[in-house]
Amino acid sequence: MIGIDLFSGAGGMTLGAKLSGINVRYSVEINKYATETYQFNNPDVTVFNKDIEKIKPDMFEASGNLVLFGGPPCQGFSVSNSKTRNKENPKNWLFKEFFRLAKALKPNWIVIENVTGIKETEGGYFLEKILKELVKLEYLVNHQVLTASDYGVPQSRNRYFIVGNNQSIDFKFPKPIQTKVTVYDAIGDLPDLENGHSISKMNYKTNHPHSNFTDLMRNGIDYVHNNLVTRNAPHIVKRYKYIPQGGNWENIPKRLMKNYSDRERCHTGIYHRLVEDEPAKVIGNFRKNMLVHPRQDRGLSVREAARLQSFPDYYIFKGSIGFQQQQVADAVPPLLAKAVFEQISLIDASI
């Protein structure tokens, strides 16, 4: 099965598809930093670093058994961005470009991923439009919210998946697995770092993986990249010391939060220290949200966040630390994508 990834970002969905046996041949991504990361890690894929409106169907030499997938930019559907959750935001209409290409390419399968907020935006207007468009193109559609921690990802992240096929197959989403991967399972073998750590390549803290998950993430390599940590000001680091695992800004003494004009309006994700024996909270832009390492008084490194997204250690992020952090935050967890694509591959193999 041949894969085309639209709005690919750094490549979380592509990696999930590849891990399920899909031959991903093309990617479209407008962000140059995400494209640099994608191309570095996927040298076998033809990448179009262009606005999707400039992509023509004949740019893809793909025929036969094809799966077209991707996640149209979701900032406009995000629950945290209520100001942009409306019909006037042009980013909310980029799914039309997805369907323009789908109509021309006629893939056997279509997979669309987005934030769960797409269900509520404009009273479900956009979700309804997407589903109606798929039906118009004669796809049988199933859609469901999936929780990443149910599929081997050490993070409680919910994503909305829409799967359609033009072969009248009643697609069933994969069943959740019982065992949850915790934060410590995921990052316990990574090196101890300081606030503002700036050396990317380092040895692991332990010679051997300490969990099945870290064994999977290491994949036999002896060192790890992207060990970069935002340098916080001393007064920020001082605040961290008061926060227990599972705690947040509410645990910080008021005298240390005087720069907040209205401290009580902080949301619970600010200064959240991760709990080591549970899956992580959502890895959004973890620098802005100030997610705190469970044991060390600092923010997460890029690699720690990538582990919590289920990116293996051989997957290296490019650009400055801020661009790396954003790429990790925006990505679809590869193991979550893999679970969906594996289901498609199993069905395809049985036809």
Q: Encode pLDDT of 46-66 as tens digits.
A: 999 999 999 999 999 877 799
Predicted confidence (pLDDT) at residue 210 exceeds the cutoff of 80: yes
Within-domain flag for 193: no
Within-domain flag for 49: yes
Within-domain flag for 224: no
- Residue 155: give its domain's CATH number: 3.40.50.150
Maximum separation of any 2 CA atoms in the chain, in Å: 66
Pairing status of strand 140-147 against strand 158-165? antiparallel
The C-alpha atoms of residue 348 and residue 151 are separated, in whole angstroms, by: 21
The C-alpha atoms of residue 293 and residue 6 are separated, in whole angstroms, by: 33
Within-domain flag for 212: no
Whether this prediction's pTM lies above 0.85 is answered by: yes
pLDDT at 258: 81
The pLDDT mean for the chain works out to: 90
Taking only the tens place, the pLDDT of each residue in 279-301 is 999 988 766 667 999 999 999 99
Within-domain flag for 195: no
Within-domain flag for 34: yes
The C-alpha atoms of residue 116 and residue 74 are separated, in whole angstroms, by: 9
Residue-number span of the structural domain to which 33 is assigned: 2-176+332-350
Cα pseudo-dihedral 233, 319, 12, 110, rounded to 10: 120
Q: Domain tally for the chain? A: 1
Taking only the tens place, the pLDDT of each residue in 172-199 is 999 999 899 999 999 999 999 999 999 9
Q: Which residues of 283-292 are buried (b: 16+ CB within 10 A; e: fewer)?
A: bbbbbebbbb
Within-domain flag for 33: yes
Q: Which two tokens stand for residue 206?
A: 């332990």
The C-alpha atoms of residue 237 and residue 226 are separated, in whole angstroms, by: 21
End-to-end CA distance of the chain: 12
> Which residues are catalytically annotated?
74
Within-domain flag for 269: no
Q: How many CB atoms lie within 10 A of CB 314?
A: 13
Q: What is the mean pLDDT of residues 95-122?
A: 90
